[in-house]
Chain A
C-alpha cells in the first residue's frame, strides 16, 4: 500500500513538473503577451495542482492536507484574478471596435450607413 502511494506521488509530481516546464516554454516561445498569459496561467496552475495532489499521500495529519489544499485554492483564485486583470491591461484598444480581425465590423442598427438601401 505504501509502495502504491509512493508510486502515485512520483507519477503526479513528475506530471506537475512537466506542466511547469511546458508553462516556461510557452512563456519563452509564444509570440504575444496574451498567448504568453494563456500559457502561464493555465499550465502553471495545473502543474501546481498536480504537485499538491502528489504530495497529499506524503502529508501526515489531516491538518497537512488542509494546508496543501488551501495553498492550491489560493493560488487558483489569485491566478484567475490576475489573468483577467493582466488581459484587460494589455488588451489592444482597436478590439473595442471589431471583435476579431476577420469578422465584419459591427453595424449599429440606427447607423445611417446601414447596407439595406444600396
Chain B
C-alpha cells in the first residue's frame, strides 16, 4: 500500500509539472496564475499522499499551509491586476495581457 501511495503521489506531481508548461506559453498572466493554482492543489494532494504513506503526520500540516498560500497568491494577483488597470496600463499591464486573444 505504501508503494502504491508513493506512486500516486509521484504521478500527481508529474501532472503538475506538466501543467507548469502553461507558465512558459500561455498568453496572459492569468493563465500563468492558473498554473500556480494547479501547483497548489496538486501539491496538497501529493503532500497528503506522502504524509499517509510515510506515517509522518506533520506533512498534512504542510499541505494545509500550501493550500492557504496558493489562495493568498491568487488573491494578491487579482488585487494587483485591478490596481494595474486603474493605472491604465492597458498594453503591457496584466489586464491587457489577460484579455489578449489566445492563439
Binding site for B on A (CB under 8 A): 6, 9-10, 13-14, 16-17, 20-21, 23-24, 27-28, 31-33, 36-37, 40-41, 44-45, 47-48, 51-52, 55, 58-59, 64, 67-68, 70-71, 74-75, 77-79, 81-82, 85-86, 88-90, 92-93
Contacts and interface: CB of A to CB of B under 8 A. Distances in A.
Contacts of B49: 13, 51, 55
Contacts, number: 146
Contacts of A70: 64
A50 to B, nearest CB: 9
Name the interface size band of chain B: 35 or more
Contacts of A10: 4
B93 to A, nearest CB: 12
A9 to B, nearest CB: 7
Given A36-B22, A51-B48, 8 more contacts: A14-B8, A24-B15, A33-B98, A67-B61, A75-B41, A86-B34, A88-B78, A90-B30
Interface of B: 1, 4-5, 8, 11-12, 15-16, 18-19, 21-22, 28, 30-31, 33-35, 37-38, 40-42, 44-45, 48-49, 52, 57, 60-61, 63-64, 67-68, 70-71, 74-75, 77-78, 81-82, 95, 98-99, 102-103
A6 B2 CA distance: 11
A58 B78 contact: no
